[in-house]
Amino acid sequence: MNFPDSWPSDCPPQDAVDAEGDVFRIVNNDQPTADDFLTSFETGAFPNRLACLRCGLSVHRIRADAIHTKTKYPKLENRIAKGTLAKECGKTKRTGQASHTTWWVYEGVNRASIFALIAEEG
Amino acid sequence: MWNISGKAFAKERFEPFIPVEVLDDYDGPRLFTLQDAEGELNLACWSDEDEQVCRYVVVPTTPKILASLRDGGISVFDALNQPRCWLCDINQNGEIAQCLRVAFETIPSDSLPAIGTMLLPTLEPLLTLRAVGNEIVPGQIPGSVIRACIEGVQKAFKVLSEYVLEEPAHAGRPKDFLRRLFDLPTQRFAFASFEISFRMPIEEQTLFTSFGEKSPEAKTLEEVGTLLKKGLKWLTTAAAEEGVYSPDNPEESAVVLRALKELTPSSQGGIERLELKGQLIGPRNTSMVLDRSARQRVNTAIRFRSLGPQPVDLEGRIRELDMDRLSFELREINRTPPTQRFVFDEELLEDVFQAVQDGVRVLVTGSTFPVKNLAYALALSRVMETET
């Protein structure tokens, strides 16, 4: 279980912990695909952002927080998927506000397969 | 991405397009402050993107606006709604591809934060009501609309809270919590339609989440929310169309229906539709809409269960005044049962307090809920006592 060599040497940060538990991610497809789980490092977006954060994926620990993010930025993807992480999935760390968590994924992990769409109210 | 119609603007003003402080991050900075070439503070919000560029709404801001954004005084939309506004497209190298001066109103609504959405989920109001109706226009909002929104929530909350607090598990709540629970603080008013937001009476990170240790106050509030959600959900079901509320718990049915009656728009009056959202009713993509037919469904269910409030005129002495919960017990009533518990509104407090001080017999006029020997006191008058 390794992280890509192309990442900065101190990434993930030392205080990141083994991934575990339920997380929620905003996705665009009814059946989440690999495209829904690309980091900004992989897409090339936000080049001015901290390099290590660019290598991670944003997820929320609380479903309501994911819905809240979606209402703040309606042009983000429009569905919410839930996944249960385990230590084989990578490392995580609470970053930013609310239950926002950055997930650094080990090489070779099929990210989309961990997630399934959840029903939403309203 | 949509086509911008705006005036080209010197992009150098915002170069380098690098956040000073990131206020919100999701796969990258979405909301952040930015200094322009003159050293002035600006707020930038991610709006849209395609394979070439990310588009940001950029507006001038101030430390006061940012402080208000952080403490929930204004929404993200409000913070962005400024007289001057630019749209900046940033390419994959982090450079400004173009920058246009635009009118904020011309930005498509689906490319901006939803109106009323706060910076953080924890800053979201407990409950927000937006009243919609032909008579509700800026500058001419009838006072009755404002009163109905405020009183409707206060009364619904009071009914549900009284029910929850009567449970043994909720005895002995701190007084300041009860005071805030029964007189919810206001977080925000908006007058474009009429919108009022009620603030959380307590601050607790784990409130309305499924994990973490909860204080007794948080549990009380969550139980009130659970009852309200149950009622609101019922309103959308086929059972509600038939006017039949779940018969499994008669007392709970009574309080929930009573609370719904307070919240739904009356068949008369200026409010045709109420839009509800907030942490109390749970995360939603869109507001929950209550129209006048919702009131009819509630009324039918109340009639079906014979729960209609009955007028009461009772004579006795007021004891056990709880000034925080605005409730008292009327004792020495000359009939069975000899005691009756009442709740009342703030404006009756002085009369009630005086009656307790003087120890006199009073005639209390009100209506029953009817639930748990509880009634709503509407008026109070002293009774002349004759010596026997």
ipTM of the shown complex: 0.93
pLDDT band at B343 (very low <50, low <70, confident <90, very high): confident
What is the rounded distance in angstroms from the CA atom of residue B188 to the CA atom of residue B193? 13
pLDDT band at B171 (very low <50, low <70, confident <90, very high): low
pLDDT band at B86 (very low <50, low <70, confident <90, very high): very high
Q: Record the tokens describing residue A3, joined without a space.
A: 């992280």
Query: Average pLDDT, stretch A91-119?
Result: 92
Which has more confidence, B248 or B380? B380
Check whether residue B162 and residue B269 sit in a common domain.
Answer: yes
Domain boundary among B97, B119, B141: B119
Check whether residue B115 and residue B227 sit in a common domain.
Answer: no
Domain boundaries, chain A: 17-117
pLDDT tens string B75-84:
999 999 999 9
A96 to B22: CB separation less than 8 angstroms, yes or no:
yes
Check whether residue B263 and residue B234 sit in a common domain.
Answer: yes
Query: Average pLDDT, stretch B238-263?
Result: 79
Domain boundary among B258, B287, B304: B304
Interface test with A, best of B26, B70, B237 (most A CBs within 10 A): B26
What pLDDT score was predicted for residue B212? 67
Check whether residue B203 and residue B235 sit in a common domain.
Answer: yes
Q: Print the domain residue range for B105.
A: 7-119
**Count of domains observed in chain B:** 3
What is the rounded distance in angstroms from the CA atom of residue B200 to the CA atom of residue B126? 5
Give yes or no for a contact between B379 and B367, defined as CB atoms under 8 angstroms apart: no
Least confident of A3-12, A31-40, B158-167: B158-167
Asked if B121 is an interface residue toward chain A (Cβ–Cβ < 8 A), one would say: yes
Check whether residue B169 and residue B48 sit in a common domain.
Answer: no
Which has more confidence, B183 or B291? B291
In a domain, B1, yes or no: no
Check whether residue B144 and residue B243 sit in a common domain.
Answer: yes
Check whether residue B330 and residue B241 sit in a common domain.
Answer: no
Domain boundary among B64, B90, B119: B119
What is the rounded distance in angstroms from the CA atom of residue B85 to the CA atom of residue B65? 15
Query: Average pLDDT, stretch A78-102?
Result: 92
Angle at B54 between CA B50 and CA B60, to 5 degrees: 150
Going by C-alpha positions, the residue among B245, B222, B234, B206 that lies closest to residue B164 is B222
Predicted confidence (pLDDT) at residue B187 exceeds the cutoff of 60 = yes
Asked if B306 is an interface residue toward chain A (Cβ–Cβ < 8 A), one would say: no
Check whether residue B112 and residue B221 sit in a common domain.
Answer: no
What pLDDT score was predicted for residue B306? 67
- Nearest-Å Rg of the Cα atoms of chain B is 26
Angle at B8 between CA B2 and CA B9, to 5 degrees: 120
B25 to A97: CB separation less than 8 angstroms, yes or no:
yes
pLDDT band at B190 (very low <50, low <70, confident <90, very high): confident
Predicted confidence (pLDDT) at residue B142 exceeds the cutoff of 70 = yes
Q: Record the tokens describing residue B211, joined without a space.
A: 């994990």
Predicted confidence (pLDDT) at residue A76 exceeds the cutoff of 80 = yes
Query: Average pLDDT, stretch B80-92?
Result: 93
Check whether residue B115 and residue B140 sit in a common domain.
Answer: no
Which residues does chain B have within 8 Å of residue A63's beta carbon, measured at their own beta carbons?
283
Asked if B120 is an interface residue toward chain A (Cβ–Cβ < 8 A), one would say: yes
Query: Average pLDDT, stretch B257-276?
Result: 90
Burial state string for B353-388 with b = 16 or more CB within 10 A and e = fewer than 16 = eebbeeeebbebebebbbbeebbbbeebeeeeeeee
E-only strand ranges, chain B: 7-8, 21-25, 29-35, 41-49, 53-60, 86-91, 96-101, 127-132, 186-190, 194-198, 273-277, 288-291, 311-322, 327-331, 340-343, 361-371, 374-382
Which has more confidence, B131 or B244? B131
What pLDDT score was predicted for residue B118? 92
Asked if B94 is an interface residue toward chain A (Cβ–Cβ < 8 A), one would say: yes
A54 to B28: CB separation less than 8 angstroms, yes or no:
yes
pLDDT tens string B199-236:
888 776 666 766 667 777 888 888 999 999 989 988 87
Region for B258 from its dihedrals, namely left if φ exceeds 0, alpha if ψ lies in -120 to 50, beta otherwise: alpha
What pLDDT score was predicted for residue A42? 93
Predicted confidence (pLDDT) at residue A114 exceeds the cutoff of 90 = yes
What is the rounded distance in angstroms from the CA atom of residue B52 to the CA atom of residue A44? 10
Query: Dihedral, CA atoms, A20, A25, A29, A31, nearest 10 degrees?
Result: 20
Q: Mean pLDDT score of chain B, rounded to an integer?
A: 85
Task: Determine the 3-state secondary structure of B40 from DSSP.
Answer: coil
A74 to B110: CB separation less than 8 angstroms, yes or no:
yes
Going by C-alpha positions, the residue among B250, B251, B231, B252 that lies closest to residue B240 is B231
Check whether residue B278 and residue B358 sit in a common domain.
Answer: no
Query: Average pLDDT, stretch B112-135?
Result: 89
Q: How far is A1 from chain B (nearest CA, A)?
A: 23
Q: Record the tokens describing residue B324, joined without a space.
A: 């925080």
What pLDDT score was predicted for residue B295? 92
What pLDDT score was predicted for residue A122? 53
pLDDT band at B356 (very low <50, low <70, confident <90, very high): very high
For residue A90, the surrounding DSSP H or E stretch is strand A90-94
Chain A 92-121, residues with CB within 8 Å of chain B CB atoms: 95-98, 100, 120-121
Give yes or no for a contact between B320 and B328, defined as CB atoms under 8 angstroms apart: yes
CB proximity list for B36: less than 8 A, separation 6 or greater: B13, B14, B42
Q: What CATH number is associated with residue B365?
A: 2.40.50.140
pLDDT band at B270 (very low <50, low <70, confident <90, very high): confident
Q: What is the DSSP string of B20-38?
A: SEEEEESSSEEEEEEE-TT
| Facing residue for B46 by CB, picked from A73, A97, A121 | A73
pLDDT tens string B96-122:
999 999 999 999 999 999 888 899 988
Predicted confidence (pLDDT) at residue B370 exceeds the cutoff of 60 = no
List the beta bridge partners of residue B43.
B33, B59
Check whether residue B324 and residue B276 sit in a common domain.
Answer: no
Give yes or no for a contact between B165 and B173, defined as CB atoms under 8 angstroms apart: yes
Query: Average pLDDT, stretch B163-173?
Result: 68
Highest-scoring range by mean pLDDT, B35-39, B241-245, B250-254? B35-39
Query: Average pLDDT, stretch B359-374?
Result: 79
Check whether residue B249 and residue B297 sit in a common domain.
Answer: yes
Task: Determine the 3-state secondary structure of B154 from DSSP.
Answer: helix
Going by C-alpha positions, the residue among B119, B72, B126 that lies closest to residue A69 is B119
Asked if A48 is an interface residue toward chain B (Cβ–Cβ < 8 A), one would say: yes
What pLDDT score was predicted for residue B304? 75
